[in-house]
Amino acid sequence: MLKPCFDNTGRGLTRPSWSAFAGEFWSYAAYRPRAPAHVGLPQGNGEPVFVIPAFLTGDRFTYPLRRFLDRCGFRTFGWQRGVNWGPTPSALRHLDDRFEELHRELKTPINVVGISLGGLFARDLAQRRPESIRHVVTIASPVRLPTATPLEPLFHALSPVYSRDLDFDRISAPLPVPWTALYSRRDGIIAWESCVSADANGRSFAVDAPHLVMSRNPDTLRLVVERLAPA
């Protein structure tokens, strides 16, 4: 059994309400904001960005974020594996192989952006490969585990097929690279308090958006560009 990182109590955290959870799916269907103007924002100057999707999503879900970053001069890369079913052994092997392939090809430290569960994968990569990562951005991702979520029964049902190699104590430890955490108090899936960290190497920023659409929120897009832009 995988050591639980998602539960109903999350070290005293309050699980998002069922009404907030239901509202997430309405937001996902109805929320179609216009991307902000990229004129006046910092330019990426070709900096590479590896984007890891959320649980039960794939590269199509991250496309609005990647398209905006590309317009701002970054070079973005998807994870190219289809749906993220969670930390199965094959998913973690693919993640390592994909990251190694990019690093070998680009020959430079890579920015890594992870959405929700993808942020846990991003933090784990940074703990294991700090010399290969320039900056980590997590969007609606728990950075202190365990968290509290209505999805807890689903994660526990899937836990027998998940890998034991994803160490949640390691993920929660301070990162050895610069990082940015974006969170929302309107999050209906993850207890927002677990998405905030006071670690010395980074900063946390609040945006006003539900969990499922946070990665295409205009404020999120601007913040990701500003945080990843070369100095």
Phi and psi at residue 193, in whole multiples of 5°? -60, -30
pLDDT in tens, the chain (231 residues): 344 455 444 457 889 999 999 999 999 999 888 888 888 899 999 999 999 999 999 999 999 999 999 999 999 999 999 999 999 999 999 999 999 999 999 999 999 999 999 999 999 999 999 999 999 999 999 998 888 999 888 888 888 888 888 888 899 999 999 999 999 999 999 999 999 988 888 999 999 999 999 999 999 999 999 999 987
pTM: 0.92
The reply to whether 5 falls in a domain is no
Contact 162, 87 (CB under 8 A): yes
Buried/exposed code over 12-51 (b: 16+ C-beta within 10 A; e: otherwise): ebebbeeebbebbeebeeeeeeeebebeebbebeebbbbb
The reply to whether 146 falls in a domain is yes
The reply to whether 174 falls in a domain is yes
Contact 27, 208 (CB under 8 A): no
The reply to whether 220 falls in a domain is yes
The reply to whether 4 falls in a domain is no
User: Domain range spanning residue 71?
Assistant: 16-36+43-228
CATH code for the domain of 32: 3.40.50.1820
Total domain count, the chain: 1
